[in-house]
Structures are given as C-alpha cells and as structure tokens.
Amino acid sequence: MTVRVRFAPAPTGNLHVGGARTALFNWLFARHHDGTFVLRVEDTDPERSKGEYLDSILDALAWLGLYWDEGPGVGGDYGPYMQSARGDIYREHLDRLVAGGYTYDCYCKPEELEAQREEARAGKRAYRYDGRCAKLTDDRVAAYEAEDRRPSVRFRMPRDGILSFDDLIRGTVEVPAEEYDDFIIARPDGTPTYNFVCAVDDVTMAVTHIIRGEDHVSNTPKQTEVLRALGYDPPTYAHLPLLLGPDRSRLSKRHGATSVLEYQKEGFLAVAFVNFLALLGWSYDDAREYFARDELVKYFSLDRVKKSGAVFDVEKLTWMNGTYIRELPAHGLFDKCRPWFARAGYVPGDADEGTVEYAASALALEQEKMKLLSEAPELVKPFFEEPDEYEEKAEKNVRKLEDPAQVFAELADRFDALEPFDAGAIEELIRAYAEESGVGAGKVIHAVRAALSGRTWGPSLFEMVELLGRERCVKRLNEAGERFK
C-alpha cells in the first residue's frame, strides 16, 4: 500500500506552530514511507477564509521546506485540492447519504437551537441536539415549508453502544454513542460542514493515514460513521499530542509567538525550527536532540510519538538556533542575515563585493555569540557606524586613562605606520605601547575598544581593529582624542 497523508489547513489565519508540527509529522511520515504528502485547503467557511491567509500558510510551509506532492499550485490526480472547488463531490455524497436514509431534514431555527443550548447550560448539562426533527410527520414538514423554513441536513448517529476507532498513538479509542448527537452535515443554504467534507475528502483523496492534532479526537467518530454510511473503510488515525507552554497549560499567545512566520521574522533558522518541532511529541531515543532533515526522515515513526502533551519551550528553541547558527559557514550565515543587513542599511541589495566581504567577516567575528539572525545588525553595528553615544562603562574605561587624548593620538600615529595591518601586528603594537608608556595593557585595550565602538564588549579587539582597517581606526581614535581632551 502506498502511504498517502494530508495536511488540511483552513485559511482562516496564519500557520500556527501546532499546525506546522502536524504538517511536519505528515511530511516526515510520507517521506519515510516513500509516500505522498497532500495539501488540502479547507476553505469551506467563506466568511473567515482569506486568500492572504492561504498565501501566508504556503509561505510558512515553503520556509520550513515542507513541500507537498499534490495540492495547490502542483495539481495531482485527486484534485481539486481546495474544498471550495469540490462542491459536486460533496453533493453526490450527500445525495447518497440522503438516499440511504442516513440523514433527516432539520427545521429548527438557529434561535431555537440556541434556546436549547441555553437550557442545557442552565441545567449544567452538555448540550446535544435532542433529535426532535428526526421523525417529523408529513404535515409538520408541510407546515414548516409553508413558514418558509429552510432545513439543514443532519446525519443520524448511532443512539447507543460504543463508538470506537483505532489510533496508532492512542490505541483503541472508545466513546459512548450517547455523547454524540445527530450533527448537521449541510446548512440550510446547502453548504456542507467540516466533519462531512473532511471525511469525504479523506477517502476520495485515497488518504491512508490521518495524522492530526489531538483536538480532533472527538471529531473522528463522526467522520468514521459518515464513512461507514457511505460504504467506505475509514483510514488509519494518529492523533498527535497537544502543544503546551512551559507551565504545561495549552500553548497560547501568552507563551510567545504562535505564528510560524513570526519565528522567521525573529531570526530563527528553518533547520533549527524543524529540528525543534520534530521533538514536540516524538523522540528517537529520549536522549538525542540534534537531527539533520534526512535523519528525521530515516528515523521518524509514529510508534515513537507520545500521548502526553509536548512542551513548546522558546528558550530551548533559541538555544538550538544558536547551535545551528554556529555551525553555518561564514558566508552561509551572512546570506541568512542579509535581509537584516539590508534593513539596517549596512548592505544594500546592490552592494559591491567588498562590502559583502566586509559584512560577512564582521558577522563571522560575532558568530559564536549569536542566537538569532535578527541580532546581527546590533552585533556588527560598530563595523558600520561610528560610536555616537558611549556606553556608560565604556566612557569610564576611557576616563581611567590619565590623558586619553594623548594615548589615542599616539596610537593613531602608530596605527598609521603599522605594516602589516593585521591582528598579530596590532596586538604587538598595543602591548608595546602599554609597556613603554607604563599604562597597563588592559587599560589601553579597554579604552581603544571604547574609542572604536563605544562599547565594553565585542569580538577580540585585535581582530576587530584589523577588520575595521587602518583608515577607520585612525579616524575614530582621533575623534575620541577630541572628545576626551
């Protein structure tokens, strides 16, 4: 059997981290089994579905490298892949259910249903439709029609017994039938509803495994009943554990960004994000944390997905991101950071080779420290901007010198004459000057760093001086000399 899985987002918002985890697990399962990853767009809610949300979901999937084998923009043998274009398929299946006696018309008005719900709330009972339209007499129906009521179509659920399905993660799931009511599968305007269309699509798209979030467990019996009524065997289910915040409550905005593209904007690498998502509920051996994408494909299995909730810990993600950043070759890192360099005005899109080299080298000096790509402009700022404001401590470091102006002037002269102008020679020069002048080497180094960057921190001073180059350094030392006269 060829594995076919699907990711089925509704374009009613951006792709959330939970959706991305679901998409990733489906993708990994498909790749592991040499199967097919289908993208189906559940856009049956015309009011809430928006083209821009679909675009942003597709962008987020592309950022994570979760490309689909069938779906929007790609096509495939089981299309259309937008639910809004599958009306004929739903109509045909609805007709079959109606003809088979699996449904009935319900004439209850929304306000009547709301009143029933309210009554249940007041009595502290879970609301279930009481089936009052299940056996309407012809006269009653005629009377409703005469009132111009439009019926919705309800699916008859079993009245008693146990509804069960097999779940690869949770084992056999059993729910008493009495917890379900006859649910609406088509609204009065004829539009079909989620549980019906989802079930129909899964079989008509020949989906073999349904891998989705735990929040859908309660929908599954409705979908399997619809499928059985249509004469289909339900596919295999696997419900992934909920995502939790570090306080173990359900993941929400309170815990930080929930939209995937926010993480891209904040400077996370897609490889790190994918590695992190893979560990949300799945583990290889409960110990190993780092996996290249092909290793994830090789090792992924639903047997190793846990039932209990998975904690989404941004701190851990950030730390993993730092590890991935450190492993990038300097130019690779620069390429990733390029949009931030462009926005800061440091490296415009049409920058020449020299500027690009300079920026990449500056970044390489800071690579060890970085946890987020977005930190790049702040870290490399001294390479592109002269210090205007000094950090308070940096200023103090300068003032520790008896005569800062004289020290800076002397060093500027010596820098001017230095050959070769490289880190080794620069270090020798500074140490020799400290020795000769009797000012401690530490004091000189701190003061020079302040003069060049206005900071107390940064990369190795000697490497920083080399990269800044003679001209910038001499100019900044002279300016600092003026400033501290």
Residues near ligand GLU (CB under 6 A) are 8-10, 42, 198, 212, 216
Is 355 in a helix, a strand, or coil?
helix
Runs of H (alpha helix) within 14-50: 17-32
Separation between Cα atoms, residue 237 and residue 449, nearest integer Å: 61
Percent of the chain that is helix, strand, coil (3-state, to 5): 55, 10, 35
Q: What is the DSSP letter of 248?
A: S
Q: Which helix (DSSP H) or strand (DSSP E) does residue 240 occupy?
A: strand 236-240
Nearer CB in complex with ligand GLU: 242/405: 242
137 closest CA partner among 128, 145, 148, 129: 145
Kindly state the smallest distance separating residue 249's Cβ from ligand GLU, in Å.
20
Is 153 in a helix, a strand, or coil?
strand
Kindly state the smallest distance separating residue 261's Cβ from ligand GLU, in Å.
17
Kindly state the smallest distance separating residue 38's Cβ from ligand GLU, in Å.
11
Kindly state the smallest distance separating residue 61's Cβ from ligand GLU, in Å.
13
Residue whose structure tokens are 């083209």: 51
Catalytic residue, chosen from 253, 306, 307, 336, is 253
383 closest CA partner among 265, 308, 467: 467
CB within 8 Å of 243: residues ≥ 6 apart: 17, 18, 21, 250, 251, 280, 309, 310, 311, 312
Nearer CB in complex with ligand GLU: 239/446: 239
Separation between Cα atoms, residue 104 and residue 110, nearest integer Å: 17
Verify whether residue 336 is a known catalytic residue: no
Beta carbons of 160 and 177 less than 8 angstroms apart: yes
Separation between Cα atoms, residue 346 and residue 380, nearest integer Å: 9
Structure token digits, residue 63: 């950022």
Separation between Cα atoms, residue 258 and residue 398, nearest integer Å: 45
Nearer CB in complex with ligand GLU: 45/357: 45
Kindly state the smallest distance separating residue 169's Cβ from ligand GLU, in Å.
14
Nearer CB in complex with ligand GLU: 8/270: 8
Separation between Cα atoms, residue 435 and residue 437, nearest integer Å: 6
Nearer CB in complex with ligand GLU: 226/477: 226
Kindly state the smallest distance separating residue 202's Cβ from ligand GLU, in Å.
8
Alpha carbon distances (Å) from 234 to 119, 122, 157, 202? 35, 37, 16, 9
CA 371 to chain centre: 17
Nearer CB in complex with ligand GLU: 7/390: 7
Furthest CA-CA distance within the chain: 112
Nearer CB in complex with ligand GLU: 240/380: 240
Kindly state the smallest distance separating residue 222's Cβ from ligand GLU, in Å.
11
Kindly state the smallest distance separating residue 109's Cβ from ligand GLU, in Å.
27
CA 410 to chain centre: 54
Helices (H) and strands (E) counted in the chain, each on its own, are: 19, 11
Separation between Cα atoms, residue 240 and residue 278, nearest integer Å: 12
Q: Report the catalytic residues.
A: 253
